[in-house]
Amino acid sequence: MPVPFETLIPYGIIIAMFGVSGAGMSKIRNWQNGGKRQRRGIDQWDRVLMDRDRRLTGDLRGQANNPVAPAGYELNNPWRLEKRIS
C-alpha cells in the first residue's frame, strides 16, 4: 500500500521551518554586510584593516579605490584612553 501524503506533512513542516530560518538568517547577514557575504575567521590584522576601512569610508565593509585618502583621514584615528586607577 503506498504511503499516504498526510504522513509526509510533518516532514514538510520541519523542512520548511529549517529552510525559512536558514534563509532568513542568511538574508539578515547579507543586509548587515552591505549586500556581501559575511567575513569569517577574522584575526587581529583583519580587524585593524576593517577599522581602517571604516575610517576611510564610514562603513566597516565599505570599499574604495581612491589613490588619495579623504580630507579627515589623517586625524580620525583616536587615542584610546583609560581612566586613572590611582
Shortest distance, position 82 Cβ to other proteins, whole Å? 5
Residue among 13 and 46 whose Cβ is closer to other proteins: 46
Q: Angle at CA 17, nearest 5°, toward 21 and 10?
A: 170
DSSP assignment, residue 58? Answer: S
58 is a contact residue toward other proteins (CB under 8 A): no
Tracing cell 556581501 back to the chain, one arrives at 36
Contact track, other proteins, 12-51, x by CB under 8 A? ------------------------xx-xxx-xxxx-xxx-
Tracing cell 584612553 back to the chain, one arrives at 81
Residue among 6 and 43 whose Cβ is closer to other proteins: 43
Cβ–Cβ under 8 Å, residues 53 and 61: yes
62 is a contact residue toward other proteins (CB under 8 A): yes
